[in-house]
Chains A and B, each alone.
Chain A
Amino acid sequence: MKARLVARLDNMSGNSSADGPQDSQIVVPGDNLGQFGRFEAGHGVLIKNNTLLATKNGKLMIDDNVLSIEPLHTTYTPRPSDLVIGYVEGCTNNIWFIDIGAPFNAILPMSLGPSKASFGSTRQVLDIGEAILCRVQEVEETHSSVVTMKGMGLRKISTGSIDEIDPHLIGNLSKNNNKLLREIKEESDCRIITTHNGRIWIDGDVSGIIKARNKLKNLSKNYNLLTDGGNE
């Protein structure tokens, strides 16, 4: 449907961009972030009629005159070499379909699988519903991706628990030399592996897992703590 201009209500929301965009301010889609030229458009910013517009709900970041938005909520977009945790969603005679939390399922060909499986025996090696630690090998233009389990540490996950936080917050967990992650590991005495798709594998005894999960849940809720790298 094509939109039609009916009124010029630039200050409808009462927000003025006269002072210019401010670092760390929360923006919502449609917010006017100023004129293009003074700033450049980064992630989550759209140039329309020479004006910079926010396209996502999140925190505005200004870095070297580049405006970008760190969203409050995201979906995972796979990139080659990302370490991810996926769930087996289905399989054919020689391919597994893996849910990696992205818009499209990834495929895991038998040749990149965990062990030597014969044609037709994919389900004996990895059954539907099982979790795997794998790496994104390639992403096609059509957003389909191929994952691999050939590599150091890549395996089927059969112990512990898998928790999930927003993918963009994963980077913040490892800020300041893994400060937050180390704290959680020490407190819970668990082995914790974070992956790019926001899934976290916590392995240890049950009480430790519960402790780690609660801590992660709190951090995810208190977005401020996580985005500041636990400095507060």
Chain B
Amino acid sequence: MGGYGDIQMIDENGLRMDGRTATQVRPITIETGVVPVADGSCRMTWGTNDVIVAIYGPMEAHPRKIQRQDRAVLDVRYNMAPFSTSDRIRPGFNRRSREISKVTADALESVVLLELYPRSKIRVEIEVLCAEAGTRCVGLTAASVALADAGIPMSDLVVSVASGKVNDVVVCDLNKEEDNYGEADLPMGVLPNSGELVFLQMDGDLSPEEFQTAWDYNIQAASEIHKIMVESLRKGGVD
């Protein structure tokens, strides 16, 4: 979020640099069962973002101190591959990946029926192969599809999408330039069937009206994305 609003990213017709309108989402594809050795997996491409999620477990939680007697723990690991961006990323966990792993786990905990697997652990591995913008949203959405693919009981899927402000205009699903040079960013995680909110972050400043518009865009986009998620899960495993 550079916050330098002097770069023109929306033309006079309201079209963005990649030709999308303010409410349009980048093209999305979801494929399940892409990691045969995992219990469940999913590959999601969202614009140029490319993320693979693999689920392992439920399994015995180790070390024992992380075990919960009444429920399972979600061990989420979000990682960006060193080659996922034009500037090489130093491999390994860093402050940002720790934060994203934590918020993703928190969001998923509200839907996964963890109480069915006491003392166990469910490993969620999110690997970003190519990053454009909004990788936390892609990771969270793909993780919920992969969990469903693994047969982990969940009360709903989680759809995550971000809207933000670019050149004083609220737009949905920011691309790289908009994310870098825009003025605000509002990623949200929504449960599409119940309409509950499980994840919300905000970077930059939005007026109450802009916040409401970004919120509405996210809710609207979530319904579109949910359709794609459902379609991919329905296709998975059944020819």
Contact = CB atoms under 8 A, between A and B. Distances in A.
User: Do these two chains interact?
Assistant: yes
Interface of A: 1-10, 12-15, 26, 28-32, 44, 46, 48, 53, 55-58, 71-75, 103-105, 142-143, 221-224
Contacts of B191: 3, 30
Nearest to A46: B155
Given A9-B219, A103-B117, A53 B238 contact: no
Contacts of A75: 39, 57-58, 150-151
B219 A7 contact: yes
Contacts of B198: 1, 3
Contacts of A53: 155-156, 193
A1 to B, nearest CB: 4
B5 interface: no
B164 to A, nearest CB: 18
Interface residues of B, number: 48
Given A3-B196, A143-B119, A224 B230 contact: no
Chain B at the A interface: mostly helix, strand, loop or mixed?
mixed
A6 B195 contact: yes
B120 A29 contact: no
Contacts, number: 141
B157 A30 contact: yes
Q: What 8 pairs between A and B have smallest CB-CB spacing?
A: A30-B156, A7-B195, A72-B237, A3-B196, A29-B154, A73-B151, A30-B193, A55-B153
Contacts of B234: 26, 28
B111 interface: yes
Contacts of B150: 73, 75
Contacts of B193: 9-10, 12-13, 30-32, 53
Chain A at the B interface: mostly helix, strand, loop or mixed?
loop
B233 interface: yes
Contacts of A3: 110, 191, 194, 196-198
Contacts of B226: 12-13
A14 B227 contact: yes
B51 to A, nearest CB: 19
12 contacts: A1-B110, A6-B190, A12-B192, A12-B193, A29-B156, A29-B157, A30-B156, A73-B149, A75-B151, A103-B58, A103-B120, A104-B120
B239 A222 contact: yes
Interface in B102-126: 106-107, 109-111, 113, 117-120
B157 A72 contact: no
Residue of A12, A44, A48, A53 with most chain B CB atoms under a 10 A cut-off: A12
Interface in B23-78: 39-40, 57-60
Given A5-B196, A55-B113, A75-B151, A12 B58 contact: no
A146 to B, nearest CB: 15
B77 to A, nearest CB: 18
A3 B238 CA distance: 32
Given A6-B197, A13-B223, A223 B155 contact: no
Nearest to A168: B151
B2 interface: no
A187 B54 CA distance: 36
Given A6-B195, A55-B113, A29 B148 contact: yes
B236 interface: yes
A55 B117 CA distance: 14
A106 B236 CA distance: 31
B119 to A, nearest CB: 6
A74 B148 CA distance: 10
